[in-house]
Amino acid sequence: MMKAGWKQIVAGAFFFAAVCASGAQTVETAPPVHPVTVAQVRQLLEMTHTVENVTFVMHTAVRDQRKLVTVLPDGFWDDFDVEIDKIDWVALSTPYYQKHLSEEDAKVIIAFYSTEVGQRALAMTAQLVPELSQAGRKLGEEIGARLGEKYKAEIEARMKKQQGGSEIQLK
């Protein structure tokens, strides 16, 4: 079993912080009187390739965590990947869409995405997301490495105190 070093701890902490901070701050508004329909949510998810993008990100996160959290058996990670593919994204997403998007606004958005310009916007977004994600990941790694070096002695002292010289265990 691999013993976790301070760099793995910092990387894990950064991953956790990035996941926690991934939701944007929003101002709460009243739900629409006529919320988006389930069929419209399905169509929006299909047009924007949201399910493919989210599941890709989740599978990537599992792959990365599998390398980092070596105390978990391979079966755990294999089962996690299987469970991701079972998620009913329309059922999961609909209440959230209905909280924020009206049926009328959904019609306009769907009409836009059905145009040539809307298709180009979707294609551009599909290209931007991985590029921006990679740039953000690289910047996060640089920040984590810089701060890891800055706090190296404190991190190592805390690790030694917490683990008593043994491997780090999940709680």
Pair 170, 69: CB distance under 8 Å:
yes
Tokens of 24: 């944007």
Query: pLDDT for 45-76, tens place per residue?
Result: 999 989 998 998 899 999 989 998 888 999 99
Q: How far is CA 89 from CA 59, 109, 141, in A?
A: 15, 19, 30
Q: What is the pLDDT of residue 125?
A: 87
How far is Cα 8 from Cα 13, in angstroms, rounded to an integer? 8
Phi and psi angles of residue 55, each rounded to the nearest 5 degrees, phi first: -65, -35
DSSP 10-21: HHHHHHHHHHHT
Q: What angle do helix axes 50-68 and 116-150 make, rounded to 10 degrees?
A: 20
Q: Which residues pair with 35 in a beta bridge?
A: 102
Domain extent listing, the chain: 32-129
Task: Evaluate if residue 8 carries a pLDDT over 60.
Answer: no
Query: pLDDT for 12-56, tens place per residue?
Result: 545 445 544 455 556 778 999 999 999 999 999 999 989 998 998
Question: Mean pLDDT across the stretch 126-152?
Answer: 89
Question: Mean pLDDT across the stretch 72-98?
Answer: 95
Q: What is the pLDDT of residue 159?
A: 86
Query: C-alpha angle 138/27/101, rounded to 5°?
Result: 95
